[in-house]
Homo-oligomer: A and B are copies of this chain.
Amino acid sequence: DEIGRLVVSCPDGPGIVALISSFLYRQGANILQSDQFSTGSRGGRFMLRTEFQLGRVRERLPELERQFEFEVARRLRATFRVRAAATPARVAIFVSRHDHCLLDLLWRQRRGELPIEVVTVISNHADLERDVAGFGTPFLHIPVNPAMKAEAELAQLDAVAGKVDLVVLARYMQILSADFLDDVGVPVINIHHSFLPAFAGAGPYERAKARGVKLIGATAHYATEDLDEGPIIEQDVVRVSHKTGIRDLIRRGADIERSVLARAVDWHCADRVFVDGSTTVVF
């Protein structure tokens, strides 16, 4: 319980690093690792993520936050967040019938690979209930159909709003409304089964096969109102050939999907992802 994390975003200008690092030094914190990026020294935005060592960091957080606001953030017109690295992010996973992304996240959580605590799994089907139970994670079956989509979303909101720091759509085959995305109040990460912007929309593997591409991919991105248009966090691809039938394409794609999503969730929950307009900065 000695590692803390500070993330800062502000208009770029001279002296920012000096101001922040001096603040940490005065607090007795030792910087372990630091990343920074500027989108341009004139009129650009400066982003910084620092991991530091500081005794009893968790109990000192409120005071640190107050002081940083007063001594640094105001002068830099900065948004910032300071956290204890040991505190896992509370996550809700939405899923339909495909198990691969869900199980990979649950398994990595159990291994201690991800800084997350999955507090609930919500599905529009009951199929995966038993698998989820095997991990000791609560499972909530909320059926969704066109006639009662609004009710379903209310039930989903009720289950997650204020209770989680992140919603992960782990191959959740329903479109969430703009209202839901607004009301949920936390970031939503989606995994799309293509190398966006190629094959946005439905049936990406079928369309990839028809177009004869030699690589297929997967994309993890923040969900926004514009489907498949949100800022991309991570992507990866795998080689295919004319021999790869549509079933094999889907299988190989599944392997890419689960690893891309796991990396995106890991990086987001470790405060390594900054949204910069329609793109991301990933430290």
Contact = CB atoms under 8 A, between A and B. Distances in A.
A79 interface: no
A17 B14 contact: no
Contact of A234 (B214, B255, B281): B214
Copies of this chain in its oligomeric complex: 4
Interface of A: 13-18, 21-22, 24-25, 28-38, 41, 53, 99-100, 103, 107, 111, 113, 134, 195-199, 210-215, 217, 231-232, 234-237, 241-243, 251, 255, 259, 276, 278-282
Contacts of A232: 211-214
Contacts of A103: 107
Contact of A32 (B41, B212, B237, B278): B41
A24 to B, nearest CB: 7
A97 to B, nearest CB: 12
Contacts of A214: 232, 234-235, 282
A78 B252 CA distance: 34
Contacts of A279: 210-212, 242
Nearest to A235: B214
A24 B15 CA distance: 8
Contacts of A213: 196-197, 232, 235
Contact of A242 (B14, B18, B198, B276): B276
B278 A210 contact: yes
B235 A215 contact: yes
10 contacts: A13-B30, A21-B22, A22-B22, A32-B38, A33-B243, A196-B198, A211-B232, A211-B279, A212-B279, A214-B234
Contacts of A99: 111
Given A213-B232, A242-B282, A30 B18 contact: no
Contact of A17 (B17, B41, B237): B17
Contact of A36 (B33, B100, B210, B212): B33
Given A215-B236, A232-B214, A278-B212, A197 B199 contact: yes
Contacts of A197: 198-199, 211, 213
Given A37-B242, A198-B195, A212-B278, A17 B21 contact: yes
Contacts of A278: 210-212
